[in-house]
């Protein structure tokens, strides 16, 4: 029997959640997704040693060089995968629509200068109200977006209304919050709050003809991945991809648009903010995620500043 990874590929587009070039070449995903944490780890590797030196050597301040390195990592990955590479807008701009749009255009232009057209890139934005509005503008500009740090149906509904190309519900981080809240070690896959959240969003989208792609992200174990087999896309870390590759068991489809049921109503800003506020998990994990991405961006800029000082 084919491996579970091969079976998954028959029903879901598999995306690699890594900046590890060797892992991407070995596992052959369709797309790659990056974030500040992944870029920080990538530029600290021997593989990107010369890339870092070249970026620093071109001069500029630390934020400019960090942007240059982010695009360099993305460009390297785009040269390997046949599909798209997601590249994140600075987390510090998560509540600034205009600045987020401007930053996204800078990233797209930087990729174009390397010969990589915008149809190979997804711009990642945090799923704040401002980030979603930025995505709405960018989609109208012909720039497809990946809305990340998504933890609630309110965020998913707003993204659908904005015509966002793709959303990334964070399975593992949702589960982490509920494990701490419930005081448990874990959940069976079908009872996992992160899995249930993605299933609910998928059902909502498919039953209402919403074209936005659902890409489950932030997995903690292979069971979570298997429980979402059939989702539009899943972005998976190399260790879990390896685990699925090594497993020759049967992998049944768990999500299917033909079985979706539900209805949809547009969501306005007051309702969005109230619904997110009422969801303690979504409020806390969204804020925490923005802080963590920002912290890794600061670490990257500090590393660059040290190199400039040397």
Q: For residues 123 and 67, is the Cβ–Cβ distance under 8 A?
A: no
Q: Which one is catalytic: 4, 124, 196, 285?
A: 124
Let me know the angle formed at the C-alpha of 72 by 70 and 74, rounded to the nearest 5 degrees: 70
Mark whether 124 is an active-site residue.
yes
Q: Which helix (H) or strand (E) holds 160?
A: helix 153-161
Q: Which helix (H) or strand (E) holds 299?
A: helix 280-309
**Cα–Cα distance list, 199 to 147, 206, 288, 302 (Å):** 17, 10, 23, 40
Q: Which residues pair with 169 in a beta bridge?
A: 150
Beta strands in the chain (DSSP E): 13-16, 31-33, 85-88, 121-126, 145-150, 166-169, 213-216, 233-236
Which residues have CB under 8 Å from 127's CB, separation 6+? 147, 148, 149, 150, 151, 155, 158, 159, 167, 286
Active site residues: 124
């Amino acid at each position: 029997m084919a491996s579970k990874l091969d079976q998954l590929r028959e029903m879901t587009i598999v995306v690699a959640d890594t900046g590890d070039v060797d892992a991407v070449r070995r596992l052959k995903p369709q797309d790659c997704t990056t974030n500040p944490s992944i870029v920080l780890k990538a530029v600290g590797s021997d593989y990107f040693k010369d890339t870092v030196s070249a970026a620093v050597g071109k001069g500029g301040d630390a934020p400019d060089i960090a942007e240059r390195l982010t695009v360099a990592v993305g460009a390297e990955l785009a040269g390997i995968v046949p599909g798209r590479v997601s590249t994140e807008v600075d987390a510090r701009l998560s509540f600034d629509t205009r600045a987020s749009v401007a930053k996204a255009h800078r990233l797209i232009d930087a990729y174009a200068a390397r010969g990589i057209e915008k149809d190979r890139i997804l711009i990642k934005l945090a799923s704040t109200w401002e980030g979603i509005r930025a995505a709405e503008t960018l989609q109208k500009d012909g720039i497809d977006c990946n809305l990340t740090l998504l933890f609630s149906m309110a965020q998913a509904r707003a993204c659908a209304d904005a015509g966002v190309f793709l959303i990334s519900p964070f399975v593992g981080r949702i589960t982490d919050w509920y494990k701490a809240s419930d005081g448990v070690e874990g959940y069976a896959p079908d009872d996992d709050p992160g899995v249930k959240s993605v299933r609910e969003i998928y059902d909502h989208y498919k039953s209402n003809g919403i074209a936005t792609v659902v890409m489950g992200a932030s997995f903690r174990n292979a069971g979570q991945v298997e429980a979402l087999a059939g989702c539009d896309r899943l972005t998976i870390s190399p260790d879990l991809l390896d685990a699925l590759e090594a497993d020759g068991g049967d992998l049944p489809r768990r999500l299917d648009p033909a079985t979706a049921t539900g209805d949809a109503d547009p969501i306005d800003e007051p309702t969005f903010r109230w619904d997110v506020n009422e969801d303690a998990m979504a409020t806390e994990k969204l804020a925490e995620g923005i802080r963590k991405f920002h912290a890794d961006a600061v670490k990257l800029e500090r590393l660059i500043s040290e190199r400039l000082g040397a």
